[in-house]
Structure 1
Amino acid sequence: MSSDTYDFIVVGGGTAGLVVASRLSEDPRQRVLVLEAGADTNSDPRIKIPASWVSLQGTDMDWGFRTEPQPLLGGRSIGVSQGKILGGSSSINAQVFVPCNPAVIDHWNSSLGNSGWDWETFSPYYAKAYTTPPVDDSLAVKLGIDGWTGHSSAHGPLPTSFPGNPSHPIRKAWADTFRANGHYQTQDPFIDGAQGSFSCLATVDPVTKERTSAATAYYHPNRARKNLHVLTNATVERIRFDGEDQKRATGVVYNYNGEHREVTCSKEVILAAGALQSPKVLELSGVGNTKFLGKHGIEPVIDLPGVGENLFDHLVNTTSFGAVDDLETLDPLILDPSVGEQAAKDFAERQTGLLTSMGVYTYAYLPIMEHISGEGQKRLKKLLQDNPPAPGDGPDQIRAQAYYKIAERGLLDPKQASGAYLSFIGPWGGPPEPGSRTLTLCVMLSQPLSRGSVHIGSKDISAAPIVDPNYLSNPLDLDLFAEHMLYIETLARSAPLTDLLKHPIIHRDPASDLTDLETARKWVQKNSNSMWHLGGSCAMLPRQMNGVVDSTLKVYGTTNLRIVDSSAIPLMSTANLQATVFAFAERAADLIKEAWSQK
């Protein structure tokens, strides 16, 4: 397309950006441009092969951001991978595809002031994004889904599957363990939302066994559209505005092959650069805290103090156990080159073997089990009473108080999850022991109260943003996380899951044998890392809570600038963010279409 004017300019060709661009370009009258800083390298075998996702970290397909040193994680700087590639993080992540708990989505509306954003309205957009995989009835028991009373019948662009070996015993053992304790998910979690244990989907094609992503599912099938133009290796520098009180985004300045270029829009600029870079683009464009912008010599256009604030993320922690010798794990793939060669051959010739899975088969969304008891409830209530938000009526205080009330309601409800557990068939974060097999149990703190920030450090477009998630800064988070880690020890000794482990129980790291809250706290602080589920930094919240976008995702103070990525999500998903970002972008596309249908 030779025109320098488009109806819609999408800044960022990642997960959300490609969903929105694909949907808007369904109307051949709408001219859509996507500007993506990375390349389209989705044909790289490392991307296609599910088990190769770890090898993508630190490559030129990963922005390779790191946090500021985190005082409550022993001063460590934490890596936060984000995709620098067409398809964004959906092209380099671990492919887990799980829904949010309905109560969390309902809070977007009821507790955080976003009219029209509740589970009833939002949940159909999951189904609009992905396709339910076909499942042979004979495999239902082995997959751990034989107890489901219903299955989703989604038919969206994104193929999904139950990855890897369908007969792997972890799925049935996981399902039966949670059946025994009353926390088994009785139907497909995408029907009414996840609560309890379930076998998880992955963005892996059920036929080819290759990764699927926003690039392969939304862009590649539609790249022949004459009204859709995707420009890769194009780094956006700033958004241009005109107007007085309400600013209108007129276009975008970007760098392509060392050349500064400008493109204009007739309808909207749509920001989809991700949780760490959508705030960066806004600040470089003069949208943010005016005092902060002035320090960097940037002329303010719109005073929005919430830009870059309210950053959230999931921390993950793990315990790796010695597994029985006949359990299929990824240990040999890591240790023995000949096993890797055979696995590559199996994948290439028959689409089978160890490379067909990223290693994650099962999930569970759980409360802290001890808090279900009367004594546990007393301890939890004291934790809440001892860690209230700061009083005050400023925007930051009002926002913190709202999040605290959400956490309080959820934690005191024994049916609501505060942690997400998963199994991994191999060692996590360290090399395996020669000749050994490993099963790792992991947990994420689903709704931490700690919030951080991400801001530019200079006017230099090439400079990485300053990322400070402020992990565990709310004392409540550390204690809750430690309690969830202790439950891993209970799980490891619960039948029939425990039958997959060697006995006596072997902790691959002796320090991970957690016996009380104090040892668990120390383990959390020493070993927790990011799950790269970053969001909230341009939150959809009322202005009195220092929100950045309204409930139509329009940036306050503008007439035609929207944000459609995870930075706008006001309260994080229960676990992995990918499915919720796809659904969020699908909803955003409909909102944009509705806004222009009468114009």
Structure 2
Amino acid sequence: MAASYDFVIIGGGTAGLVVASRLSEDPSTSVLVLEAGADLTADTRVNIPIFYAALLGSEADWKFHSAPQLGLNGRVLGPNQGKALGGSSALNAHVFVPPFKGVVDSWEALGNPGWNWTTLKGYFSKAYSSPAVAQDAKEALATEGWPELSEAKGPIQTSFGNVTHPIRKAWAELFRSGGQCNAGDPFIHSSVGSFSCLASIDSEGKRSYSASAYYKPAELRPNLHVLTNSHVEKILFDKGKRPKAIGVQYSLEGASKAVSARNEVILAAGAFQSPKILELSGVGGAELLQEHGINVVMDLPGVGQNLQDHLISYTAFQAKDDIETKDSLVRQETEALGQAMKEYTATQTGPLASLGVHTYAYLPLPAQDRTALQTLLTNYAPEDTQEHGATRAYYDIAKTIILDPEQPSAAYLSALGQTNYVKDLKDENIPAASLGKFVTLGVMLSQPLSRGSVHITSVIPGDSPIIDPSYLSNPLDVEVIARHLLGVKNLAQSPYLGKLLEQPLKFRDPVADFQGDLDAAKKYARDNLISMWHYTGTCSMLPRESDGVVDSNLRVYGIEGLRIVDASAIPLISTANLQATVYAFAERAADLIKRDWKSE
């Protein structure tokens, strides 16, 4: 191994570039990042927010397919994951929201001392900068009741987007009428209710992500090297009494190369690639490794298990003609696109500068639904003999969240326009865009109990792993999401949102009008739920006896010099969109790594 660095980071994605930037702040520390994708920081598809969809299925996407999902009537979904410098932060939908306090506190309850809301809250502030909000904009943003806004000053730049759109005030009035309008900045005061959400879009209308915000300012540091288009094949070990990670084997331009790590190898390849690389390297369930003829370096059955994701359902309602939406862009109307591009070029504002997702709400189920679910929760309680070591603990956390009126079991959002997507990759025809204007309400299942897996299918590094999220495999998930879906019509019919929508309501998809029928809502869920691409948990930070892969310092059990810092290590999925949580997670990880090596 001709090249040698103190730290070799596998994956230049959301988390990997945070760690690389922070570790290389010390000029005496050398850092190498190996990224499979290209540097797309100059690409307009990345930088102009509305064009993010053009990246899905492109060279910037791993183009994975899920296994057929029995819980979704055998549908195959596309788990889009970023293959570019910046990873999925280069192609996500920009939504920047925190997890709910109780979820993060559950990380500690699962056996991870120090991983709680109080500790992590400070790392959000270290990761992003909150936007300045003029006093006259606060009423339009529905933030006039906030006692304070976070004064975060981190690298990721955020904004509120279209401040004056009436959806914001209507949304706040709707939930305030039911006592569920969040009274404070959700990054400071965690409570159920609605809020105006941030987007990772800077003041110039450009995407702000780990490559532009963390890497580019550090790019010229002589102690930081980044190799793009470098495909990691396996981690190299010194297999003494206690195995130690000593380097990484990767391919570049068709040639196999190796680099040594003097201190640590840091795996940050994401929820699909991190378990795959571990298994190719001999770390994982011994039985699976032996099936593929891979020598076992460390038997860790939890590798690739515990896969979690958020499912979402979108319900679109026809909007009044004077409401600004993105529908003309969805239909790719030439005149609208031309006018929007002209406005963006001149002022970096207008329809291209955001996706039109401005409002969120973290909500519990109504009291009558929580009562109905109490019996089901008892009936579906896991047996203590179940295979996954943390199954009972996860069930207890979910039960608490579902039954507690002060904790959210779903996240709701509004989107200014219709959503068009492929529901089943076995039929790749995207539905034709509808004429007219729409406001779409999305409902996301925040704490699914279903767990899936990611595992290798061969010893060839270029082969995709088999990704099986096992959506709705736990029957409680469809019970919870269906009850939330039944309430969507009531929101749309309210006098607050009703001011923006055609009355009587006109559903884009008439089947989404369930008429109060729970079974119809369940059927709709199985036919229409899609992934939010919030994959976590496949190398979970859990006790080893609970099928954990890393300890509370993110060190892989039984192996020296190997740590995992990405969404795969997060033991319990965030409440909603994942990117803010991954940034804070990586910021804290960087501090843990610095602390460990300062004490050496």
TM-score normalized with structure 1 length? 0.97
Partner residue, 1:485: 485
Q: CA deviation at 1:378?
A: 2.9
Q: Report if the CA contact (8 A) 2:369-2:483 is conserved.
A: no
Report the 3-state secondary structure (helix = DSSP H, G, I; strand = E; otherwise coil) of the residue aligned with 1:277: helix
Q: Distance in 2 between matches of 1:397 and 1:563?
A: 21
Q: Distance in 2 between matches of 1:67 and 1:246?
A: 36
Matches within 5 A, 1:344-423: 344-369=341-366, 372=367, 375-392=368-385, 396-423=387-414
The one-letter amino acid of 1:421's match is: Y
Partner residue, 2:457: 457
Of 200, 205, 209, the match for 1:203:
200
Match status 1:43 vs 2:42: yes
Match status 1:522 vs 2:523: yes
The one-letter amino acid of 1:576's match is: N
Q: CA deviation at 1:282?
A: 0.1
Q: Report if the CA contact (8 A) 1:311-1:534 is conserved.
A: yes
* Deviations 1:177-198 (CA, angstroms, capped at 9, x unpaired): 1111110011111112352100
Partner residue, 2:302: 306
Q: Distance in 2 between matches of 1:155 and 1:102?
A: 21
Q: Distance in 2 between matches of 1:192 and 1:142?
A: 20
Q: Distance in 1 between matches of 2:291 and 2:239?
A: 24
Equivalent residues, number: 588
Q: Report if the CA contact (8 A) 2:20-2:224 is conserved.
A: yes
Q: Report if the CA contact (8 A) 1:245-1:557 is conserved.
A: no
Partner residue, 1:228: 224
Q: CA deviation at 1:259?
A: 0.4
Partner residue, 1:341: 338
* Deviations 1:478-503 (CA, angstroms, capped at 9, x unpaired): 01010111111111112211211101
Of 138, 157, 160, the match for 1:159:
157
Match status 1:424 vs 2:420: no
Q: CA deviation at 1:512?
A: 0.8
Q: Report if the CA contact (8 A) 2:388-2:547 is conserved.
A: no
Q: Distance in 2 between matches of 1:431 and 1:496?
A: 30
Q: Distance in 2 between matches of 1:349 and 1:142?
A: 25
The one-letter amino acid of 2:451's match is: R
The one-letter amino acid of 2:569's match is: A
Match status 1:178 vs 2:214: no
Q: Report if the CA contact (8 A) 1:125-1:586 is conserved.
A: yes
5+ residue gaps, structure 2, are 421-430
Q: Distance in 1 between matches of 2:226 and 2:113?
A: 33
* Deviations 1:530-550 (CA, angstroms, capped at 9, x unpaired): 000001000000011100000
Matches within 5 A, 1:21-170: 21-110=20-109, 112-163=110-161, 165-170=162-167
Deviates more, 1:303-312 or 1:146-155: 146-155
Q: Report if the CA contact (8 A) 1:236-1:255 is conserved.
A: yes
Q: CA deviation at 1:397?
A: 4.3
Report the 3-state secondary structure (helix = DSSP H, G, I; strand = E; otherwise coil) of the residue aligned with 1:276: helix
Q: CA deviation at 1:472?
A: 0.2
Q: Report if the CA contact (8 A) 1:536-1:567 is conserved.
A: yes
Of 243, 263, 267, the match for 1:267:
263
Q: Distance in 2 between matches of 1:144 and 1:331?
A: 25
Q: Report if the CA contact (8 A) 1:390-1:397 is conserved.
A: no
The one-letter amino acid of 1:470's match is: S
Q: Distance in 1 between matches of 2:2 and 2:147?
A: 53
Q: Report if the CA contact (8 A) 2:60-2:82 is conserved.
A: yes
* Deviations 1:249-296 (CA, angstroms, capped at 9, x unpaired): 000000000000000010000000000000000000000011101111
Partner residue, 2:185: 188
Partner residue, 1:253: 249
CA 1:87–1:450: 2 relative to 1, 3 Å: same
* Deviations 1:393-437 (CA, angstroms, capped at 9, x unpaired): x6x343110000101111121110000000011111244322x10
The one-letter amino acid of 2:482's match is: A
The one-letter amino acid of 1:56's match is: L
Q: Report if the CA contact (8 A) 1:250-1:266 is conserved.
A: yes
Q: CA deviation at 1:584?
A: 0.3
The one-letter amino acid of 2:177's match is: A
Q: Report if the CA contact (8 A) 1:334-1:340 is conserved.
A: no
Q: CA deviation at 1:145?
A: 1.2
Q: Distance in 1 between matches of 2:388 and 2:280?
A: 27
The one-letter amino acid of 1:39's match is: A
Percent identity for Structure 1 against Structure 2? 53
Q: Report if the CA contact (8 A) 2:158-2:202 is conserved.
A: yes
5+ residue gaps, structure 1, are none
Partner residue, 2:590: 589
Q: Distance in 1 between matches of 2:148 and 2:557?
A: 42
Q: Report if the CA contact (8 A) 2:234-2:248 is conserved.
A: yes
* Deviations 1:352-377 (CA, angstroms, capped at 9, x unpaired): 210011121100000012xx2xx434
Q: Distance in 2 between matches of 1:160 and 1:38?
A: 25
Deviates more, 1:20-29 or 1:194-203: 194-203
Report the 3-state secondary structure (helix = DSSP H, G, I; strand = E; otherwise coil) of the residue aligned with 2:7: strand
Report the 3-state secondary structure (helix = DSSP H, G, I; strand = E; otherwise coil) of the residue aligned with 1:79: coil
The one-letter amino acid of 1:517's match is: L
* Deviations 1:498-519 (CA, angstroms, capped at 9, x unpaired): 2111011000011111221101
Partner residue, 1:217: 213
* Deviations 1:227-255 (CA, angstroms, capped at 9, x unpaired): 00000000000001114342110000000
Partner residue, 2:291: 295
TM-score normalized with structure 2 length? 0.97
Q: CA deviation at 1:74?
A: 1.1
* Deviations 1:62-117 (CA, angstroms, capped at 9, x unpaired): 1111100001101110011000000000010001000000101001112x010111
Q: Distance in 2 between matches of 1:334 and 1:156?
A: 33
Report the 3-state secondary structure (helix = DSSP H, G, I; strand = E; otherwise coil) of the residue aligned with 2:6: strand
Report the 3-state secondary structure (helix = DSSP H, G, I; strand = E; otherwise coil) of the residue aligned with 1:586: helix
Partner residue, 2:427: none
Partner residue, 2:473: 473
Matches within 5 A, 1:567-586: 567-586=568-587
The one-letter amino acid of 1:101's match is: F
The one-letter amino acid of 2:442's match is: C
